[in-house]
A and B are shown apart, each in its own frame.
Chain A
């Protein structure tokens, strides 16, 4: 037979096992992964916990027996039961820690958990140090007893709910009421009366002959008049009294008693204003009603749905690159479905939603091309509350289907044409809280009509821009190149489709009457300028915009520069001058030839090509960067071995610095044919006085030289 002492030894050893396991589970925290069989052990915590409570408390009692030290047998009973209690405490703590992994959270859990550990640790310490001073042991035993009771209480709080023990003697229970079920009187107004008024207006203490503890009393009213009259502030004593100055004897609640807050005052007033009903539900008020806005925040906003959730695998399968199917919020069975990506939208995919038609409460098909799509499937969405169909090309037939969806609370059909028959159908959708009818071709008269038919619905007709006149944006001119050889295509466009573009090719300003209207691309074969302007009804005409096109008739057979351009600005060499690509004015570093110390002297040979009648130079000006027009341009022709001056020009000098821009300088030649031509551009030797670097040498930048017949 097992001896008591060996049982004790086993029990003492096993304590260390519990301590170790407790440590590891506590430290592991959330990382713990439990096999199912351990969950069963965890769930036995509520059964196990009774053992340590009884055994430990019993063991503790023995410390208090007077003269216990003289009775070793009795002491032995106490110690063994205490030791057994310690072991049970360890097992219970372990089970508890495992159970806590399941779904318990919150402050009481923390208290209970650590309370349990303190009890376990405390009793183990007490057991091993049980032989030290008796008085110390007694004090510790008291502490331990308190810890046991407290831990037990917190534990009970977890299973039965907080304040379970004291609930019968506590009056102010707070219950979370879903917004959908909240009543204006019962859940919003009455609590205010309860807190601030009833203490003097109840059975046994009926001041002013007004009883406020039941509805009949309120309906009966008091000595001086009715308590409330719907919508009548003058005759409603409630409103009268609460609004009197606080010093007035008739002011309610009386001076020195808890006063109504501003919000409470507002709620009471709005209650009377909105009809002082004793039964109405809060959600029946329109969303813009002030009382609704004030009160709705007090209730649980998450609507509770009673239908079953859809199969998770089905939901996952429905999520594709063009469709998103998500729960409204975690653990809600209600689904929110949206379609995206016009180009990827297959209308057939709408029928996939059959598997979740009971669960869909929000559905968005904004901008999807629904023309011709049969929308009858929507009738199967029994719980659909919000439907967004903005810009979906719906016809009257489809809109009729939509208007027959009786569960809808929010409907957005902006951007679809709503005709009279549809409008009539929508006017019957009394359940709508919000309706979006922007850009639906409704007249002001129609808008009034629908608002009258649905007085409680918040309707948004949006912004129609009527009466606002802005200047149109300029049209956009697109041409592949500025300098071309044979012919050039010029296209004009405007981001507003209805805008009319008029243009000229003769350098005059286009007007809205006689200038040609742009309809198709224009082909040009000469050098010139296109000027365009946009016009539209309800808009001011745009600013004019122009673009130059340059015809290049003859490309020289040979050409050479007498002096190299500056080594920093060589572009792609002399060939740049004849590549027919106009460089951007902002890019003088790479696409332009730059001359400063030496002039540009260009010799060209046409060999057997036709004779040139004029020469154009594409130049860059940017005064801040010292880039000026050339001081002088001359063109010479070689005739019988002699250079003869054919043309010369000194362009006007700028008077101030402007931003970088390019210019085209054209010089006409005489009728003779020359063997060679020589073009000379001389940079300005001294920058003018107004320039910040007055006196230093200016630059000349060239990117194209063009000859025409």
Chain B
């Protein structure tokens, strides 16, 4: 009996197995009919994802990012460390520094003398946050902002750190934050670019900004940041040539679109339809942009709020005012860069000048949005690409020291659009070197920003060269504690 059962089992010989397997393969083929994309190589999943955006109820509709390019010192702004003043000139303990790599600028230094803030600190607002004396206006709005003292990043030099903050990767060619938002949420106002960029330069030691920071990367070219300059033509090549009428221009654009559509039918290159859209938007921008840059209709109290500098095109204050006007008009992401925060030396002198240029206008932007009822739906971010070391770069002189780059801990602030107000988040050790509480990585920050805009950072992806990309790469956690 046993033998028979065994033989029965062995009857499943190879031929039988293979013939049955063919049934399986046949069913695979049958099943593949249910997967139209299987052999077409084209993904419609992305489109489906796009239709579903935002993923959930957004807290903020728009972002204004006041990027302080060059990395302002956290130790002279928001991270008060009296211990550093007490230990002035003492060596940074090995135990605190650990394995932190240093830049080429201080790696060769024989000693790392601690240096405390040259500026006085005081506590402000209901949150009793410590703020240094060079940011008096920011101190005035402290209950409207959320200071994050526990930011950290991967990069230690300006370009990779900036690129990391803006695109989620240290190497270039990835889309910038603003491009991602333009891609994900589009523009509220189709007369203006969804992603606008404004540049200004302070009086401190500066670092460059490059157009790759507002690049659309592999996304459609319509998501590229549009730079507004301080010249007579804020957006280059937008003006019609002299004596060309609007109707002539209209006719010309229609004709070009017609021809572009013909070649679109022939080649099916998405760049062609992007071009058509860009011509169309440029045409509408011809009337929308002059509205934006005209400050003559602003009440005088606004000029006093931002400071008279806001009437001088190209200054940080003027850019803050322009940022409000753009944002109020539905521009999804307004990116400011203010250069001059790289205080390797002469910090006490330079940082005061830098702060003088940005403090009033940054605070003014918050007050201004608030008095229009727009702060609730606009997220404002202020901060640099990393922090600065608690030790002195070069020889220590009490009123003329410098600080090198420090990626392990730095401070930024956020306000409005769903962020808790009047809060200080995260803590660093008494040396201001390591984070002791609630670290926030750049990817966490990006995930949180996207979350506030109603986007799940893990679900907003774009397939390029065979893999899916997202702003937060493969990490990032939404910092729920920051969300109101």
On A, residues with C-beta under 8 Å from B are 12-14, 16-21, 23-25, 28, 30-35, 38, 69-70, 72, 128, 131, 297, 301-302, 321-322, 324, 328-330, 332, 338, 340-344, 366-367, 388, 390, 410, 412, 414-415, 434, 436, 438-439, 460-465, 468, 470-473, 495-498, 538
Contacts and interface: CB of A to CB of B under 8 A. Distances in A.
Contacts of A321: 190-191, 284
Interface in B287-306: 287-288, 291, 295-296, 299-301, 303-305
Given A31-B35, A31-B37, 19 more contacts: A12-B20, A20-B26, A21-B27, A23-B24, A31-B43, A33-B35, A131-B6, A131-B8, A338-B188, A341-B291, A343-B291, A367-B328, A388-B374, A414-B373, A438-B371, A439-B301, A460-B373, A462-B371, A498-B300
B180 to A, nearest CB: 18
Nearest to B32: A24
Contacts, number: 178
Interface stretch (B55-63, B107-115, B201-209): B55-63
A24 B372 contact: no
Contacts of A301: 57
Contacts of A410: 373
8 tightest A-B CB contacts, nearest first: A462-B371, A329-B57, A24-B31, A20-B27, A465-B304, A412-B373, A20-B24, A340-B189
A388 B373 contact: yes
Which residue among B1, B6, B191, B307 has the maximum number of chain A CB atoms within 10 Å of its CB?
Answer: B191
B454 interface: yes
B371 A460 contact: yes
B20 A13 contact: yes
Interface of B: 1-2, 5-6, 8-9, 12, 20-21, 23-28, 30-32, 34-38, 43, 45, 52, 54-58, 188-192, 284, 287-288, 291, 295-296, 299-301, 303-305, 307-308, 311-312, 328-330, 367-368, 370-374, 454, 484
Contacts of B308: 470-473
A488 B97 CA distance: 68
A226 B229 CA distance: 68
Contacts of B37: 31
A328 B45 contact: no
B371 A23 contact: no
A538 B34 CA distance: 75
Contacts of B288: 341, 343
B305 A465 contact: yes
A390 B27 contact: no
A471 B295 CA distance: 18
19 contacts: A16-B21, A17-B24, A19-B24, A25-B34, A31-B45, A69-B1, A128-B9, A131-B5, A131-B8, A329-B57, A330-B56, A340-B188, A343-B288, A367-B329, A462-B367, A463-B304, A464-B301, A495-B296, A498-B300
B103 to A, nearest CB: 31
B1 A330 contact: no
Nearest to B189: A340
Nearest to A16: B24
A497 B296 contact: yes
Contacts of B2: 69
B184 to A, nearest CB: 13
A23 B190 CA distance: 46
Nearest to B8: A131
A367 B303 CA distance: 18
A367 B297 CA distance: 11
Contacts of B372: 366, 388, 390, 412, 414-415, 436, 438
A162 B111 CA distance: 61
B93 to A, nearest CB: 33
Contact of B34 (A38, A367, A436): A38
Contacts of A434: 373
A21 B296 contact: no
Contacts of A21: 27-28, 30-31
Contacts of A463: 301, 304-305, 367-368, 371
Given A19-B24, A366-B372, A496-B300, A128 B312 contact: no
A340 B289 CA distance: 12
Nearest to B312: A473
A329 B288 CA distance: 28
Chain A CB within 10 Å, residue with most, of B27, B28, B284: B27
